[in-house]
Structure 1
Amino acid sequence: MPETILKLVDLKQHYALRGSLFRKPKYVYAVDGVSFDVKAGETLGLVGESGCGKSSVGRTLLKLHEPTAGQIFYNGQDITNLSPSEMVSLRKEMQIIFQDPMESLNGRHTIGTILAEPYEIHSIGLPEEREVWIKELLQKVGLPASAANRYPHEFSGGQRQRIGIARAIALNPKLIVCDEAVSALDVSVQSQIINLLLDLQKQMNLALIFIAHDLSVVRHISDKIAVMYLGRIVELSDTETLFSNPQHPYTKALISAIPIPDPRQRGKRVMLEGDVPSPMAPPPGCHFASRCPQADSLCQNTYPTLTQNNEQHLVACHQAVST
């Protein structure tokens, strides 16, 4: 059995909004009690609508944002309260790939300078060794060694994302958070980047947390999937079980919205009514109750806990658990 490399226990991230002299500050409950674990060499897909807290989970577990509450375990070590200086040594093992590579790459630096930065920060290797490693990194992600002398604006979106991936794997990490890593790319380029990530995962035994809103993309790359709604996980299962037997009404709606080319294979589209509640004032009961056709008084007043419905299949729904 692969070892558990990451474990989150009731993780919370509440962002404070600026108050005033006479008003208390309000909070955005971006992440409100998320728990899951990821094993070495495994991919967890994290899906949900925009604003559900997916990216906040990714950045908080890496401690780019300090958690409000809960615990983060990396390789069995509780890193929740580690200071930024104490986190430096772990940064080599925990990396992130951002959604927009152009925004995350310094346009004034050459690609060689950008890729050399991780080695410089951690004082690894001599300058001549770094040059060799940079060429190997570029070749590993499908770019020529000559790319080291060029600038980010000289590359396409897909090529820039390959550079972002090269930077993420430079120090041989064990865990990478892919924060909407293919959302800004054309469909044909998306498949190339996903295949590249899968190849690197096999070569390096990487654990991936793949954050996206496109379920069809997540299905292709993930071993298991967590569905988020308004800061909480509403369903968590291995990929095939989730798609063959979704339990939560929100998951069913997301799956029904996946485009299917063959009209004979299309199922009935589940249309959701109403708006997502504000993350500044989440309702007291199930957060999905105002949009759920199955909701009753229990759903309106009591939030369902994430409960094991079947083997390795967790769902937070009073109706699903009771059936």
Structure 2
Amino acid sequence: MADFPNLSRRGFLNRSAAVGGLLVVPGLLAACSKAGEGSADGEGALEKLRKQGFVRVAYADEAPYGYMEGKELKGEAPTLHREIFKALGVDELKPTLTEWDGLIPGLQAGKYDVVSAGMAITPERCANALFSEPEFISPTALMVKKGNPKKVTDLASAKEAGITVGVMAGAVEGSYAKGAGIPEGKIKTLQKPQDGADAVKGGRVDAFLLTGISLRWLAKTNEGTEVTEAFLPELDGSKQYSPGGAVFRKGNEELRDAFNRELKKIVADKSRYVELLRDYGFGATELPPATLKTADLCKG
């Protein structure tokens, strides 16, 4: 499993708990688990969804993964999940806004059927919920000034060019830069994505390192910047994929499996995948490789 690391950029950067809300007292976790035990399992759950005509999904209002624009639920996960559930005979997503650290506990408590938030697949989360196969991976990229004056394409070229690279405070990109041999004096820590874009535009850094997904989204509102082609950084010889997927309540294995069958059809069709998700900054570089399996990611 050297190629499939557990640590995701989003889990590490955005949530101090880093395990999707699993830092709860044991009694509460047990109570949440019991709350879901009486629900229909597997195929029964899917049949229930078909009869009622909708599936309850939770999102965390985080663009471009899952967010509300006006009265419309948008983003990578809702768009993909809407397509999949329609193929399964369920036409509507009924959204519930949930704080990130409440997504899995709310799922366990039966408040909704699926988490549609682009949640990273980690062993800690797998211990408390079911994940689909990966919907996407999160290759890294560099935001640079328009025209890419330093002609950088990845961390190796950034090191060779001797440029200053911006990274987010507390995020794994800092370790990627150090692992690539970029001197600490050439790594500038920033607090949030917009700070990185501002630093590039203002010349305080030559490049800002983050996932291609996030940078392409950021570039939409930051003229004078562009984003390099995405690449997979390595740490200790391991490629950093940072995959994410849909999340189901334990006991709903057959529902998860039905979802996976439709998901497989989409990720096997590159043009369809890109057409569905291009508006959210996802492209062919975000397609998960066929060898990347949730069962392996859950093992660690």
Shorter-chain TM-score range: under 0.3
Q: Under a length normalisation based on structure 1, what TM-score does the superposition of the two structures give?
A: 0.26
Higher relative contact order (CA 8 A, sep 6+): 2
Larger radius of gyration: 1
Q: Under a length normalisation based on structure 2, what TM-score does the superposition of the two structures give?
A: 0.27
